[in-house]
Structure 1
Amino acid sequence: MKLLAWKLFGFGGRLARGDWWRLGLPAFIGLIAVNLLVTVGAGPGEAAYSGPAFLRLALSAPLIWALYAIGLKRCHDRGKGRFWLLMFVLVPVLGWGWSVIELGFLRGQAGANRFGPSPLGDESLDDVFA
Structure 2
Amino acid sequence: MTFAEAVRTCLKDKYCCFRGRAARSEFWWFSLCIGLINLAAALLLSPLPRETAMPLKFLISLALLLPNLGVTVRRLHDRNLRGWWLLIPIISLLLWLLERAAPGGGTSAASSLLSLSMCICYLAILSMPGTAGPNRFGPDPLAAEKTRD
TM-score of the pair, normalised by structure 2: 0.63
Tell me, which stretches of 5 or more residues in structure 2 are unaligned? 93-114
User: Which sections of structure 1, spanning at least 5 residues, go unmatched?
Assistant: 126-130
Matches within 5 A, 1:7-86: 7-35=14-42, 38=45, 40-41=46-47, 43=49, 46=50, 50-86=51-87
Are the equivalent residues in 1 in contact too, given 2:74–2:83 (CA < 8 A)? Answer: no
* Partners of 2:29 and 2:118 in 1: CA distance: 21
Q: How far apart are residue 8 of structure 1 and its match?
A: 4.8
Q: What is the CA deviation profile of residues 88-109 of structure 1, one whole-angstrom value per residue up to 9, with x for unaligned ones?
A: 33324333322322112x1111
Q: Which gives a bigger RCO, structure 1 or 2 (Cα 8 Å, sep 6+)?
A: 1
Count of paired positions: 115
| Residue number in structure 2 paired with 1:109 | 131
Deviations 1:73-99 (A, max 9, x none): 100000111211111333243333223
1:32 Cα shift?
4.6
State which structure, 1 or 2, has the greater radius of gyration over its C-alpha atoms: 2
120 and 9 in structure 1: CA distance in 2 versus 1, 3 angstrom threshold: same
Write the deviation string for residues 10-31 of structure 1: whole angstroms up to 9, x where unpaired: 2111011111121222213323
Aligned residue for 1:99?
A: 122
CA gap of 1:8–1:24, structure 2 versus 1, over 3 A, is: farther
Normalised by the length of structure 1, the TM-score is 0.70
RMSD over aligned Cα atoms: 2.6
Distance in 2 of aligned mates of 1:70 and 1:96:
18
